[in-house]
């Protein structure tokens, strides 16, 4: 491990890292974001993301995992006053905080299942959807329109590290994805509580883009018009609808179930 930088006061470096927690503009201007937790940091390293700095509490013993991360990532070690580490972590104890470089925008994949999240407003929902997309075999998540930031700490935490294993694209407009779908013969399956077809009755085994709407307003008019079909999830009880990320999880499960049966 190279010689550690020591941070004992709220100096300029600390203030910049602190800004990464809440300021989207500063995250993207600096080209980096903060990552907390053993699994997310481990997956970032395993998937080859650029880990620039690893912050840890000064003068405290570290676990074997933390020492291994410091040794093998090539990150600059930053020994920080434990109270300041707690501020960056949002809790009393955190063994490591990683400062990770933002990736270059990935291309749309040559694959047969992607999930499109239209104008999500809650970063935690983005992270949850990314986790489900990873779990059920999607090749990418596309976040479109005026949306929360996938690299917000709440999104990163909710993804439990899947953010580092799955390409996440951000598009201002639907056009690039619509062109990609047309070229690849990809069906656009929108979700709507008033959809014409139950999701289990629609064939999801072919190349598919699942369209998930904003938490409050659902899919935009542009995406609704572009969809080849609008499917619904039958629900009972007092609930009028499902949370957007929960609805995506149900439809991803149904997609995986259909595909498993078609292969069998």
| Sequence-distant (≥ 6) Cβ neighbours of residue 229 within 8 angstroms | 187, 188, 189, 190, 195, 196, 197, 202
| Sequence-distant (≥ 6) Cβ neighbours of residue 81 within 8 angstroms | 7, 8, 9, 57, 58
Q: Nearest-CA neighbor of 90 among 162, 34, 172, 158?
A: 34
Q: Cα-Cα-Cα-Cα dihedral of 10, 16, 20, 23, to 10°? A: 100
Q: Nearest-CA neighbor of 41 among 68, 20, 2, 6?
A: 68
69, 45 Cβ separation under 8 angstroms: yes
Q: Give residue-wise pLDDT tens across range 35-73.
A: 999 999 999 999 999 999 999 999 999 999 999 999 999
Q: Nearest-CA neighbor of 199 among 223, 237, 235, 174?
A: 235
DSSP code per residue over 214-235? BTTTBS-HHHHHH-SEEEE---
Other CB atoms within 10 A of residue 69 CB? 25
Q: Nearest-CA neighbor of 120 among 195, 211, 20, 239?
A: 211
For strands 97-101 and 32-36, give the pairing: antiparallel
99, 55 Cβ separation under 8 angstroms: yes
Interatomic CA distance for residues 150 and 120, integer angstroms: 10
List per-residue pLDDT tens for the chain, 264 residues long.
Answer: 668 899 999 999 999 999 999 999 999 999 999 999 999 999 999 999 999 999 999 999 999 999 999 999 999 999 999 999 999 998 767 899 999 999 999 898 887 999 999 999 999 999 999 999 999 999 999 999 999 999 999 999 999 999 999 999 999 999 999 999 999 999 999 999 889 899 999 999 999 999 999 988 899 999 999 999 999 999 877 666 788 999 999 999 999 999 998 876
Interatomic CA distance for residues 215 and 196, integer angstroms: 20
The torsion angles phi and psi of 11, rounded to 5 degrees, stand at -80, -170
Task: Give the global pTM.
Answer: 0.93
| Sequence-distant (≥ 6) Cβ neighbours of residue 178 within 8 angstroms | 188, 226
Average pLDDT, the chain: 93
Interatomic CA distance for residues 241 and 76, integer angstroms: 47
DSSP code per residue over 61-88? ---HHHHHHHHHS-PEEEEE-HHHHHHH
């Amino acid at each position: 491990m190279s010689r550690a930088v020591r941070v004992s006061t709220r100096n300029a470096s600390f203030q910049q890292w602190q800004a990464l927690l809440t300021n989207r503009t500063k995250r993207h201007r600096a080209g980096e974001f903060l990552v907390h937790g053993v699994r997310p940091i481990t997956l970032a390293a395993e998937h080859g993301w650029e880990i620039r700095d690893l912050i840890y509490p000064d003068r405290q013993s570290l676990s074997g995992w933390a020492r291994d991360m410091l040794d093998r990532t090539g990150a600059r070690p930053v020994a920080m006053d434990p109270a300041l580490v707690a501020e960056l972590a949002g809790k009393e104890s955190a063994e490591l905080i990683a400062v990770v470089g933002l990736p270059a925008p990935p291309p749309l994949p040559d694959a047969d299942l992607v999930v499109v999240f239209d104008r999500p407003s809650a970063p935690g929902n983005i992270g949850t959807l990314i986790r489900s997309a990873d779990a059920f075999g999607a090749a990418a998540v596309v976040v479109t329109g005026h949306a929360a930031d996938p690299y917000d700490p709440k999104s990163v935490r909710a993804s439990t590290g899947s953010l580092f294993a799955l390409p996440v694209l951000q598009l201002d407009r639907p056009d690039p994805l619509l062109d990609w779908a047309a070229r690849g013969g990809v069906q656009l399956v929108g979700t709507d509580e008033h959809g014409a077809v139950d999701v289990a009755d629609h064939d999801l085994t072919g190349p598919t883009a699942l369209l998930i709407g904003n938490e409050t307003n659902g899919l935009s008019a542009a995406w609704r018009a572009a969809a080849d079909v609008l499917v619904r999830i039958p629900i009972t009880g007092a609930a009028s609808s499902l949370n957007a990320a929960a609805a995506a999880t149900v439809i991803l499960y149904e997609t995986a179930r259909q595909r498993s049966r078609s292969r069998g």
